[in-house]
Structure 1
């Protein structure tokens, strides 16, 4: 068994997700090939939502990944990194994402308003995280 640590990299974010309060995908951006098909991505999202939608925590280890999340009204925001990733960096990305979207939506962060402003939301995700 190889016990060496992986090579250091600047690419720390594996995925950014926004799900509604039923666990349905509103926005998802995957930055590596751990979940290569849409079917695998949706299965992961469904399982992650089922694990987190009732919890009060902000960080969870799930399927070998570090997942940080925040819920607001009818939306769930997730930032996902590898199991050995620094949680503080992932939480900073999550707060940056949430704050940017909150400012764009005039602090009215809910599903209907987010869907009406999806182009701005996609731009914010692209600007926050470039290829992970």
Structure 2
């Protein structure tokens, strides 16, 4: 009797798994989670590519390991700035001259978001974030 019940319940479970309609797993939106670089014309008219995925991560890793970034972070932390973390860092390549710019967001003492832009692991300029 136990074998009959086990086979009957096993058959019902198999039927439910293989014959049930629909798929509960939904794919993410491709446009928002793509790891492919996106080429755009920015507001400044620049021909840039937003780097993502492994290429972005490698550039960010190299920047975070550099002495210049550590010095900038330390200096501005003393002034009351806070670093927002690596997840918010933006990496952009200018397609005209192949320059790679890394935008690192910090928060100033007043709570405003400020972008520290690095070029070749050196601080190039500081810009308030565009809203």
Normalised by the size of structure 1, how large is the TM-score?
0.24
Which structure ranks higher in relative contact order (CA pairs < 8 Å, sequence separation ≥ 6)? 1
Normalised by the size of structure 2, how large is the TM-score?
0.24
Structure of higher CA gyration radius: 2
